[in-house]
Chains A and B, each alone.
Chain A
């Protein structure tokens, strides 16, 4: 029997569709706008003539960015930090989450509290900065340098930043959901702890691991504040691309109200170049995102976030 749709239901459905379409359009509009502006003429960009499609085609801005050495050095830094940094975070998070998911671990509640407490309270910007500075100095003294700028501070970013207790808890919850019979079977077959983790737990928690890996990767890729705070202007060759983009905006456009020395036509060109950089900086995310997106609903099951 086909149910008759009631009027209230129909109205609700129409409202839902309309508002969803409007919101979805709002969500991608700025990104489409950036893409169109990259190819629009400098004049059209400065005078806000671009609405959705490119106005007056040019390829100059992209060409300029492609020939900008500093941009590509920083781009490769970001790739390096994202790749190595995410792997490092994933390794210690998976190992830790696995141990925490075991009921037989003594002091389990204590370790959980140790982790959760960092979500409640953080030392703050200045103490964190002082800590990074000292870490940099210690790392430098290990290789025989005297100041933290003697070493490539990319390694400091990789090692010390990008921690996230929520991700560890997500992993732990997912590991707790693995049936213990499978683990026992593996143990009877003589598997060691590490083998159980890699052969049983990791394959069975793929969705969560993919989601968590994406979270780590995104936060690395997008990280700005601490990289800028620690590297400052002294180590430009280690800058991530986000820091370079912001610096470029400060120096060449009027957007941050820092008076630029460039004449107007240069500002138009610089603005188009900013759009080109924005587009290039989004490419890796847009490439990976559709593949991992389907895991979200499964991976982000926050229902069981309990200490």
Chain B
């Protein structure tokens, strides 16, 4: 049981029956006071260093942390422009989007977020590693540099350009012939559903939207993401390969037993980072590929962020949008902390 040990810092004077501070405690108090003073002095002496932090802290406070105070609006309901009209409703907004009127839309958007993110991870994560392993096979520096310049480039093309090119290349019969990739796919598949979808363009179709989104995403990021893995692969010492060869390891065995263990920590770190950003899918791109609810791909392209953004246009519904996206981002945060903890426990590699 907890018992306050007052004898540590008080002395009981039996003659007068009063307590007084023990000398040890007086010394301790003094050092404590001096500690604050010396801390203050250190900061004062080093004020230039602390001044350097100020602009960054200010920028992050104003435009990253201040918006978080707006999250309180998720617990209120009413006309958004008039703060007097808004009443505190507790978790009612959350109830509405989880099980109430708005639930179908929200869960659709949430499912889409998750599906797009999951497929993106499933197909998008291994490819950069494979690219890095392939680049390692190219012995000629010039050939490798040319190929690297080509595969890094898409990362630097803007979302507007990427989506415009996607729309054009996968386009349907819009006062002309279908786009060049639509044409190619139509020619090699002969599938009827494909031809049915060609009027509006493949991007706006329910069946093909996800594949197109994932493929263009890989097109954008795979080459660039391979940089980190390539740096890890070329760090493997040549003697390890030689030792494996002497032991009779073929190419696949070398990959399995020499290269993979050496790049594992990099892979884990990148995986944590990817999982951390899992639920913040590229809303800018999705917004550009699915401009409004009337478009055919709405049911698969609407993610929580774009849904929230759409609700933001309506005064009364704004609160639902804020509540929904807050849920999404909280789950994202749990994912990153969780994956980090698991990685640390399992393999001693962690990001944070």
Contacts and interface: CB of A to CB of B under 8 A. Distances in A.
Interface in A246-286: 246, 249-250, 253-258, 264, 267-268, 271, 274, 278, 281-282, 285
Nearest to B157: A282
A109 to B, nearest CB: 11
Contacts, number: 286
B185 interface: no
A57 interface: no
Contacts of B283: 125, 225
Interface in A113-158: 114-116, 118-132, 135
A24 B318 CA distance: 44
A300 B179 contact: no
Contacts of A106: 39, 42-43
Contact of A127 (B53, B55, B204, B322): B322
Nearest to B203: A255
Nearest to A14: B137
A166 B153 CA distance: 20
Contacts of B10: none
B318 A126 contact: yes
Interface centre among A120, A126, A245 (most CB of B within 10 A): A126
B178 to A, nearest CB: 6
Given A124-B325, A296-B152, A27 B180 contact: no
Contacts of B311: 126
A274 B318 CA distance: 35
Contacts of B280: 122
Interface stretch (A46-54, A60-68, A69-77, A182-190): A46-54
B336 to A, nearest CB: 5
Interface string B147-180: 1111111101111110011011101001111111
A225 B280 CA distance: 15
Contacts of B169: 30, 33
A80 B179 CA distance: 35
Interface in A5-27: 6, 8-9, 11-13, 16-17, 19-21, 23-27
A87 interface: no
B250 A92 contact: no
Interface string B39-57: 1001100101110110111
B93 interface: no
B251 A48 contact: no
B203 to A, nearest CB: 9
Interface centre among B56, B265, B287 (most CB of A within 10 A): B56
A91 to B, nearest CB: 7
B194 interface: no
A234 B8 CA distance: 71
A24 B150 contact: yes
Given A123-B67, A125-B305, A246 B160 contact: yes
Contacts of A96: 52-53, 55-57
Contacts of A289: 153, 156
A302 B305 contact: no
A216 interface: no
Interface of A: 3, 6, 8-9, 11-13, 16-17, 19-21, 23-28, 30-31, 33-34, 45-51, 91-93, 95-96, 98-100, 102, 104-106, 111, 114-116, 118-132, 135, 160-161, 163, 168, 192-194, 197, 218, 221-225, 229, 242, 245-246, 249-250, 253-258, 264, 267-268, 271, 274, 278, 281-282, 285, 289-290, 293, 296-297, 300-303, 305-307
12 contacts: A92-B56, A99-B50, A106-B39, A106-B43, A115-B60, A121-B329, A130-B67, A131-B63, A163-B59, A163-B60, A222-B158, A293-B148
Interface of B: 39, 42-43, 46, 48-50, 52-53, 55-57, 59-60, 62-71, 73, 131, 133-135, 137-138, 146-154, 156-161, 164-165, 167-169, 171, 174-180, 183, 200-201, 204, 219, 222-223, 227-228, 230-232, 245, 250-252, 265-266, 269-270, 273, 276, 280, 283-284, 287-288, 291, 294-295, 305, 308-309, 311-312, 318, 321-322, 325-326, 328-330, 332-333, 336-337, 351-352
A-B CB proximity, top 8 nearest: A96-B56, A46-B176, A222-B158, A127-B70, A124-B325, A254-B174, A123-B67, A16-B134
